[in-house]
Chain A
Amino acid sequence: MLVLGAASGSAGATEFDLRGFADLRLLRAGAEKAWQHGGLGKFRWDGGGDTPGLLAVPQELSLVGSVRPVPSVSATVHLRVAPDQDTVVDAIEAFARWRPVSTSAWRFSVRGGAFFPPVSLENDGIGWTTLWTLTPSAINSWVGEELRTIGGEVSLTWRGETDRITLTGAVFGWNDFAGILVAYKGWGLHDRFTGLFEHPRLADEIGVHSNTPNPKTTQMFSEADDRPGVYGGITWSRDDAARVTMLAYDNLANSNASKGQLAWRTRFLSVGAEVPLGDAFTLLTQAMAGDTTLAEGQAGQSVTDFNAGYLLLGWQEGDWRLAGRVDLFATRERGPRNRVELSEHGHALTLAVTWRPRDWLRVTGETIRVNADRAQREIVGVRREQTETQVQLGVRVLF
């Protein structure tokens, strides 16, 4: 494998930086067809048949470039090359940030462009990856699937002697179809974040029960009603002691507006916390509750409540990290009685061990066992309750 070095430098007053990673995976995939392939499986990959399969996958090459024309302004783009996306290259995030230096207790910053909302304490690695595991929690797998702030965000931080409080607010568009995936296929556990220009695959069951052709895809980062959405959040942190964050999100979509397909009104509340325990342990937890609505007030109205939470205990010592995580997740659809039941409930246990023998190399072994009960599976001849295990060895070369 080609090992690249991070590139940074300056041309006049402008500074630039290019870094990223290449990811290889050796994995034993689950038997159930993955969601990306039109199935109702919970993982990114499947065995390609009805049995688990062993796969070696050049998963992705991610490049994160930034330019800083003046010290207070930066522009960042995250591009991904992956074999399982619509185009060879897609963008995951692209945004500019202005954060002037402040010598008072107050500091503000402004972001504009396309970026993940500040909902995850888990995904603080380069390219929105997680440091503890290869696969993020069900909550943040979904955030990667369906959420992107395409708009502007303002943050105001108060900095005390030991405490910090940040208020964040955003106005955004082009997220009127967020909610369709969690409603139509349920929660997932994967690191396959939707590219800004992608049209994710819908479950083939949709075509089967509606007697329409498959495969089907959906718009994702698109505007249907010309009505912006909003979110607001607050984060409190105390030096090396704890961090607690809360975000309320509402895309304010008109669920009767159509742009080739109906929009989804999606809103949720997310609360997360990170607590260091001694020198080596970290506790991470997050809970989310929300709903997504289609065709409000119409005969075909469908409301899906979605709820999930996780608890992760991590241990780090030197080059080694261990993590154990428990995920709980559920959806409950409140739609017409004569329609397919789209509700589900499930749980997952994830164990991961990570070794960083070099600054440029990360090796992670991970296993996930997920159990989910989803009646929708029976439409395509799959038993409604499935228990799947995925084992991965990930080699990530960082540059």
Chain B
Amino acid sequence: MLRAIGTVLSSAAFTACLSFVAYWSLGGRAVLSQNAAGLSVRVTDASGHGADGAVVVVRPESGSPPAVTVPTAPVTIGQTNERFVPLLTIIPVGGSVVFGNGDRTNHHVYSFSPLNRFEMLVPPDAVSAPVVFDRAGVLAIGCNIHDGMIAHLYVADSPWTATTDAEGRARLDGLAPGRYKVTVWHPRLRPGRGEPEVTVDVTAAGGSAALQLTLTPDRRRGPDRERAPY
């Protein structure tokens, strides 16, 4: 089973993210070979501590990864207490997202990422129209009214994609024996350093990989009465 835990801000976000990845993993199973093996990945920060919420992507060293299966229902990114929930969402290429506003104030959701530029006003208690993402990559999503709000959307082109748990661990199952490239991305990856990548051999007994990240300090903060609202 694909095991993944997203970086979360609340238990509700945790549940939503977990249930989504579990749903997506059902699609991943369709491409498993008879003698599929598992790959264990450990991601640490510069001080050797497990890096929570890193996105681990596995692709064959040569050729393309198996096609991803696109869920029919869009994934919801919520807005609660002037935060996006969850902070990080993974969808397969071709997947879609809706934005659900649980606050009493408008949110003006936008992204200026070249991957997919969009903007939409989401009134209180409303859910936006779905936005389809048909190219792989990472987007930052913000709110034009509340500057502190940010979310990250990872659009994956490989079914072997997972997020690390609190210990920095992720396990990806269903890989045929062979050589793979493992890359990792994190919302706090230090700018300009690129995404770490390693090549690993997976045998019938499985395989393992270790990667280290240099992360910026975690300075996320939600709305605060002490801070200027403008």
Residues of A within 8 A of B (CB): 6, 8-10, 15, 17, 19, 21, 64, 66, 68, 71-72, 74, 76, 97, 99-105, 107, 124-129, 131, 159, 161-163, 238-241, 276, 278-280, 356, 359-360, 362, 396, 398-399
The reply to whether B226 and A362 form a contact with Cβ atoms under 8 Å apart is yes
Q: Is the interface of B mostly helix, strand, loop or mixed?
A: loop
Q: Residue B203 at the A interface, CB < 8 A?
A: no
Q: Which of B19-27, B64-72, B83-91, B113-121 forms contacts with chain A?
A: B113-121
Query: How far does the Cβ of A284 sit from chain B's closest Cβ, in whole Å?
Result: 14
Partner among B119, B192, B217, B230 whose Cβ is within 8 Å of the Cβ of A103 = B119
Q: Which chain B residue shows the least CB distance to A360?
A: B225
The reply to whether B217 and A279 form a contact with Cβ atoms under 8 Å apart is yes
Q: Which chain A residue shows the least CB distance to B109?
A: A101
Query: How far does the Cβ of B178 sit from chain A's closest Cβ, in whole Å?
Result: 33
B107-134 Cβ-contact flags toward A at 8 Å (1 or 0): 0101110000111010010000000000
The reply to whether B112 and A105 form a contact with Cβ atoms under 8 Å apart is yes
Q: Which chain B residue shows the least CB distance to A280?
A: B217
The reply to whether B144 and A8 form a contact with Cβ atoms under 8 Å apart is no
Partner among A102, A125, A159, A161 whose Cβ is within 8 Å of the Cβ of B227 = A125
Q: Which chain B residue shows the least CB distance to A399?
A: B225
Give CA–CA (A170, B214) in the complex, Å.
39
**For A163, what are the chain B residues with a Cβ–Cβ distance below 8 Å?**
191
The reply to whether B227 and A101 form a contact with Cβ atoms under 8 Å apart is no
Query: How far does the Cβ of B83 sit from chain A's closest Cβ, in whole Å?
Result: 14
**For B112, what are the chain A residues with a Cβ–Cβ distance below 8 Å?**
102-105, 107, 159
Query: How far does the Cβ of A358 sit from chain B's closest Cβ, in whole Å?
Result: 10
The reply to whether B105 and A128 form a contact with Cβ atoms under 8 Å apart is no
The reply to whether B230 and A76 form a contact with Cβ atoms under 8 Å apart is yes
Give CA–CA (A239, B187) in the complex, Å.
10
Say yes or no: A15-B105 contact (C-beta < 8 A), given A6-B225, A126-B228.
yes
The reply to whether B191 and A398 form a contact with Cβ atoms under 8 Å apart is no
Query: How far does the Cβ of A227 sit from chain B's closest Cβ, in whole Å?
Result: 29
The reply to whether A161 and B230 form a contact with Cβ atoms under 8 Å apart is no
Partner among A74, A107, A241 whose Cβ is within 8 Å of the Cβ of B191 = A241
Give CA–CA (A278, B190) in the complex, Å.
12
**For A127, what are the chain B residues with a Cβ–Cβ distance below 8 Å?**
228
Say yes or no: A71-B106 contact (C-beta < 8 A), given A103-B118, A241-B216.
yes
Partner among A10, A15, A64, A101 whose Cβ is within 8 Å of the Cβ of B110 = A101
A6-B225, A76-B229, A103-B119 are known; give 16 further A-B pairs, CB within 8 A.
Answer: A8-B104, A17-B105, A76-B230, A100-B144, A103-B117, A104-B117, A125-B228, A126-B227, A129-B226, A131-B226, A239-B216, A276-B216, A276-B217, A278-B217, A280-B217, A362-B226
Residues of B within 8 A of A (CB): 104-106, 108, 110-112, 117-119, 121, 124, 144-145, 188, 190-192, 216-219, 224-230
**For A162, what are the chain B residues with a Cβ–Cβ distance below 8 Å?**
191-192
The reply to whether B119 and A101 form a contact with Cβ atoms under 8 Å apart is yes
Partner among B118, B124, B144, B192 whose Cβ is within 8 Å of the Cβ of A72 = B144
**For B192, what are the chain A residues with a Cβ–Cβ distance below 8 Å?**
162
Report the 6 A-B pairs with minimum CB-CB distance, sorted nearest first: A162-B191, A103-B117, A240-B216, A398-B225, A101-B144, A279-B217
Query: How far does the Cβ of A242 sit from chain B's closest Cβ, in whole Å?
Result: 10
Query: How far does the Cβ of A294 sit from chain B's closest Cβ, in whole Å?
Result: 34
The reply to whether B118 and A19 form a contact with Cβ atoms under 8 Å apart is no
The reply to whether A126 and B229 form a contact with Cβ atoms under 8 Å apart is yes
Give CA–CA (A399, B225) in the complex, Å.
7
Say yes or no: A74-B230 contact (C-beta < 8 A), given A162-B192, A240-B188.
yes
**For B119, what are the chain A residues with a Cβ–Cβ distance below 8 Å?**
101, 103
**For B228, what are the chain A residues with a Cβ–Cβ distance below 8 Å?**
64, 124-128
Give CA–CA (A122, B221) in the complex, Å.
17
Give CA–CA (A76, B192) in the complex, Å.
38
Query: How far does the Cβ of A115 sit from chain B's closest Cβ, in whole Å?
Result: 9
Q: Which chain B residue shows the least CB distance to A102?
A: B112
Query: How far does the Cβ of A186 sit from chain B's closest Cβ, in whole Å?
Result: 29
Query: How far does the Cβ of A64 sit from chain B's closest Cβ, in whole Å?
Result: 7
**For A125, what are the chain B residues with a Cβ–Cβ distance below 8 Å?**
226-228
What would be 27 A-B contacts, judged by CB atoms less than 8 Å apart?
A6-B225, A10-B104, A15-B105, A64-B229, A66-B229, A68-B106, A71-B121, A72-B144, A74-B230, A101-B108, A101-B110, A103-B110, A103-B111, A104-B112, A124-B227, A126-B226, A126-B228, A126-B229, A161-B191, A240-B216, A240-B217, A241-B190, A241-B191, A276-B216, A276-B217, A278-B217, A396-B226
The reply to whether A239 and B108 form a contact with Cβ atoms under 8 Å apart is no
The reply to whether A68 and B145 form a contact with Cβ atoms under 8 Å apart is yes
**For A9, what are the chain B residues with a Cβ–Cβ distance below 8 Å?**
104
The reply to whether A239 and B225 form a contact with Cβ atoms under 8 Å apart is no
Q: Which chain A residue shows the least CB distance to B188?
A: A240
**For A8, what are the chain B residues with a Cβ–Cβ distance below 8 Å?**
104-105
Give CA–CA (A100, B191) in the complex, Å.
27
**For B191, what are the chain A residues with a Cβ–Cβ distance below 8 Å?**
161-163, 238-239, 241
